């Protein structure tokens, strides 16, 4: 049987770098596209490295050739200017979806974010957590771009029958400690992230879905049901790290809303969040 080939865009970013070693499998080639430097292939690692922008139609067309699925992580991962957000996140996602469609790639997994619904209040979460398909309430231009890419994914599914899964990622970092108290609710452990992407790749005919990307944290406010329906099973819980988190709990709007500190961050201005 031919090797499975998965294209990961933004493979040198925070989530991409965490997924690269974890999505390695026998019989699978990872094609890794990023504008930045990427580590060369390790011994025995089946990777193909491409340096390109997700906004480049020719490069993304070439990158999608012969690919079984795309995991699209490329783009700005936080607030920046509207022009940059529009070009890299929104236009870049359309460019990748269009390249995937033209190449006949049947499945695309999109990295959306909690910031697509950042202005939803934490107390909207019912017993099972905030539903994954809660309508958009972005908290930043970045959040608007994530709502827009979900809409693009829906369009490409409806028009062309592609399977598209938009994952509203909480906070995917090696540990929740750097995130402060909010991370105890929003953390997606890297190992759970890989389990989630594997479920997205393997689920039979998912169509168009929006799911949360979060670990089964004790303080979780996002629903896991939609991701579980695709076969995801979380094995991690941020609570394990609670003793190591000493930063004070936020107050004001950041404390009450899904987007945390993003809800008061200046619009269109790069910041360290």
Binding site for ligand 15L (CB under 6 A): 77-78, 113-115, 171, 179, 186, 273
Report residue 252 as tokens: 């004001």
Closer CB to ligand 15L, residue 87 or residue 98?
87
* Closest distance of CB 180 from ligand 15L, Å: 10
Residues 6 or more apart in contact with residue 92 via CB below 8 angstroms: 53, 54, 55, 74, 75
Alpha helices in 85-122 (DSSP H): 92-103
CB of 252 to ligand 15L, least distance (A): 17
For residue 2, count CB atoms less than 10 angstroms from its CB and return exposed for 0-12, middle for 13-18, buried for 19 or more.
exposed
Which residue number, 194 or 273, has a Cβ lying nearer to ligand 15L? 273
Comparing CB distances to ligand 15L, the nearer of 115 and 209 is 115
Give the C-alpha separation, 155 to 227, whole Å: 21
Q: Output 29 or 260, the one with its CB closest to ligand 15L.
A: 260
Closest distance to ligand 15L from the beta carbon of 46 (Å): 28
Q: What CA–CA distance (Å, rounded) separates 148 from 97?
A: 13
Q: Are 183 and 238 in contact (CB under 8 A)?
A: yes
Shortest separation between residue 144's beta carbon and ligand 15L, angstroms: 12
Give the torsion sign (CA, 168, 262, 145, 138): positive
Q: How far is the CB of 146 from ligand 15L (least distance, A)?
A: 7
Three-state secondary-structure class, residue 38: coil
Residue labelled with tokens 């479920």: 199
Q: With CA atoms as reference, report the closest residue to 140 among 55, 257, 61.
A: 257
Q: Which is nearer to ligand 15L, 171 or 223 (CB)?
A: 171
CA 110 to chain centre: 6
CB distance 116 to 142 below 8 Å: no
Q: Which of 142, 156, 222, 241 is catalytic?
A: 142
Q: How many C-beta atoms lie closer than 10 Å to residue 252's C-beta?
A: 9
In the residue annotation, 222 being an active-site residue is answered as no
| Smaller CB separation from ligand 15L, 77 or 85 | 77
Q: Are the beta carbons of 20 and 11 closer than 8 angstroms?
A: yes
Q: Closest distance between ligand 15L and the C-beta of residue 115, in Å?
A: 5
Q: Distance (Å, rounded) from C-alpha 38 to C-alpha 72?
A: 16
Whether 215 contacts 176, CB under 8 Å: no
Which residues are catalytic, by number? 142
């Amino acid at each position: 049987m031919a090797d499975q080939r998965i294209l990961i865009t933004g493979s040198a970013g925070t989530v991409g770098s965490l997924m690269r070693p974890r999505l390695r499998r026998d019989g699978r080639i990872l094609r890794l596209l990023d504008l930045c430097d990427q580590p060369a292939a390790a011994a025995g690692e089946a990777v193909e490295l491409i340096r390109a922008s997700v906004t480049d139609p020719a490069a993304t067309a070439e990158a999608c050739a012969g690919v079984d699925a795309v995991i699209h992580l490329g783009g700005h991962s936080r607030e920046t200017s509207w022009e940059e957000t529009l070009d890299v996140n929104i236009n870049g996602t359309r460019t990748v979806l269009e390249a995937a469609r033209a190449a006949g790639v049947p499945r695309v997994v999109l990295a959306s974010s909690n910031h697509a619904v950042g202005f939803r209040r934490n107390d909207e979460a019912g017993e099972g957590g905030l539903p994954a398909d809660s309508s958009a309430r972005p908290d930043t231009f970045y959040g608007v771009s994530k709502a827009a890419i979900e809409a693009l994914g829906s369009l490409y599914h409806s028009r062309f029958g592609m399977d598209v899964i938009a994952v509203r990622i909480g906070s995917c970092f090696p540990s929740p400690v750097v995130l402060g108290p909010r991370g105890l609710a929003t953390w997606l452990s890297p190992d759970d992230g890989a389990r989630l992407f594997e479920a997205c790749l393997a689920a039979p005919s998912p169509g168009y879905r929006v799911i949360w990307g979060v670990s089964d944290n004790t303080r979780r406010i996002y629903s896991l049901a939609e991701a579980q329906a695709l076969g995801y099973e979380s094995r991690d819980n941020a609570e394990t790290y609670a003793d190591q988190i000493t930063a004070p709990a936020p107050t004001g709007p950041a404390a009450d809303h899904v987007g945390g500190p993003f809800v008061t961050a200046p619009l269109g201005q790069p910041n360290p969040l």
